[in-house]
Amino acid sequence: MSGIFQKVIPQFDGQFKASENYSVFSVQKVNNRWWIYHTNIDQNYRLKVIDLSSDLLILRKDSSTTDYVYKRFEPLNLGDL
């Protein structure tokens, strides 16, 4: 299992604008834990999957105590303003 990690910015029209930079990653299960291995030009590192659901992803960089929380994008409904 592998793919690319690329930052995107939501636009007002519901589309996303992607950055030109990306990194390659692979996903592996080691000792009943899921890990994401990132490969960049200047560094390699891994992230432990702490929690995963359809709306939330929580990752922790190896040998760190900082969690990275990713929430599913919800479009802004301008009619509610």
For residue 32, the enclosing domain spans 2-80
pLDDT at residue 80 in the model: 65
The pLDDT tens digits for 27-73 are 999 999 999 998 877 888 899 999 999 999 999 988 888 999 999 88
Max CA pair span of the chain = 48
Query: Measured between alpha carbons, how far is 26 from 29 in angstroms, rounded to an integer?
Result: 10
Looking at residue 81, its pLDDT comes to: 61
Encoded amino acid at 13, one letter: D
Question: What's the number of domains the chain is made of?
Answer: 1
Is the pTM higher than 0.85? The answer reads no
